[in-house]
Amino acid sequence: MGLDRFGRPLRSLRVSVTDRCNLRCQYCMPEPDYAWLPRQNILDFEEIAVLADAFALEGVDRVRITGGEPLLRRDLPRLIEMLAARPAIRDLALTTNGVLLANQAVALRAAGLHRITISLDTLRRDRFQALARFDELPAVLDGIDAAAGAGFDSIKIDTVVIRGRNDDEINELLAFARSIGAEIRFIEYMDVGGATHWSMDAVVSRREILARLTEIYGPIEPLTGRASAPAERFRLSDGTTFGIIASTTEPFCAECDRSRLTADGLWLLCLYARGGLDLRHPLREGATLDELAHLIRTVWSMRADRGAEERLGSPARDVLIPVAALRRDAHLEMHTRGG
C-alpha cells in the first residue's frame, strides 16, 4: 500500500455521482445560481467502477457515494450493486440529504449498500425551509424512517451546527437520533469552497458542543478507536453515543486517508485542494487498469496536503474562495467535491 509524503495510506474514497442538489443549504450552496459540470463529462457507472478498481489496487477499501445529492442520479442502486460486488470494497456507504430516500431506501439496501448517513440540521419545519430553501423536512423524516426499517448495518445523522441557526437544537437532534437507533455526528461549520457566508463567529466548536452536553448529562466519556474516521466518538452518562467532526477547530489532517472523486473524474487529495488530477481523460483515452493505478500511486506518493490545518494557521480567517472564483471553476464548490 502506497503512502503519501506524511506516511498516510490511501484507504478511503468519496465518489460524487452528481454536482446537482435538490436543496440549497445556506452553509453549502447559498448563492442564487451556480455553474454546473458539463453533462458529457459526467462519468457513467461503468467508468466509476473501473476507477474504483484502480483505487482498490492502490489500497482503497472504503467507498462513500455522495454528491451534490446522490439520489438525484438515475438508477443509483445499479452503481451500488456494481460496487458491492467488488470484494476489495469492504465498506460501502452513502451520504444523502434524505429528500428522495423514502422511495429508494429498500432498493439501496437490496443492492448491497452497507451504511447510510443522512444529513439533518433541524427538526423544525420553518427552520428547515429557511436553512435549505425547500420545505422538505417531512420528506426527509419519511426517508429516515424508511432507512431505519431497511436493515442497514448502521445509520448516522450528520448535523452541521451553526450559531444562531440550529445550535439550540443539539440536544433535541441527539434525542431524535437515539430514538431511531442512529448515531448523530455534530459537524463544525467549515470554511470550505461554497461556504461563502462562513464566519468564525458562526462556528460552534467541539469544545462548546461538549460543554453544552455536559451541562445536561454530566461528564462525557471519550471513546477510543477513531481510527481514521473523521468523527471523534463520545458516550453520555445515559449510554447514548455520538460523534463530533471538529475539522475547523481541531483538524485531523495527520490521520487523513481520504480523497475525493468528482462526478466528472477529477481526483482531489484534500477537501481544501485548489486543483486535482484529471482521471477522466486517461480513462476515456483507454488507459489500462494498471496504468490508472500507477498514476494514482504516483500522485498519492507526492501528497503533502493538510488543508484544514493550514486554514487553522491562517491569520485573518475569512471565506476561503470568493464567489467570482467559484463561478469560474465549479470544482472548487463543496457540492462538487461531495463534502
The residues that touch ligand SAM, with contacts defined as CB under 6 A, are 21, 27-28, 66-67, 69, 95-97, 119, 158, 160, 187, 189-190, 192, 195, 334-335, 338-339
- Dihedral (CA of 153, 265, 263, 256) sign: positive
CB 307 within 8 A of CB 271: yes
User: For ligand SAM, which is the closer residue by CB, 89 or 101?
Assistant: 101
Distance CA 72, CA 327 (A): 22
CA-closest candidate to residue 339, choices 271, 288, 279: 271
Q: Least CB distance from residue 11 to ligand SAM, whole Å?
A: 19
3-state DSSP assignment of residue 258? strand
Q: Least CB distance from residue 32 to ligand SAM, whole Å?
A: 17
Q: Least CB distance from residue 16 to ligand SAM, whole Å?
A: 8
User: For ligand SAM, which is the closer residue by CB, 119 or 122?
Assistant: 119
Residue number with the smallest Cβ distance to ligand SAM: 339
User: For ligand SAM, which is the closer residue by CB, 100 or 295?
Assistant: 100
User: For ligand SAM, which is the closer residue by CB, 66 or 104?
Assistant: 66
- Write the CA distances from 295 to 35, 73, 255, 260, integer angstroms: 29, 28, 23, 15
Q: Least CB distance from residue 202 to ligand SAM, whole Å?
A: 10
CA-closest candidate to residue 241, choices 257, 256, 258, 225: 225
Q: Least CB distance from residue 73 to ligand SAM, whole Å?
A: 11
What's the CA dihedral at 107, 244, 315, 334 to 10 degrees?
10
User: For ligand SAM, which is the closer residue by CB, 27 or 300?
Assistant: 27
Q: How many CB atoms lie within 10 A of CB 97?
A: 28
Q: Least CB distance from residue 251 to ligand SAM, whole Å?
A: 13
Distance CA 156, CA 95 (A): 9
User: For ligand SAM, which is the closer residue by CB, 306 or 335?
Assistant: 335
Task: List CB contacts of 64: < 8 A, sequence separation 6 or more.
Answer: 12, 13, 14, 15, 92, 93, 94, 95, 338
Q: Least CB distance from residue 82 to ligand SAM, whole Å?
A: 20
User: For ligand SAM, which is the closer residue by CB, 12 or 97?
Assistant: 97
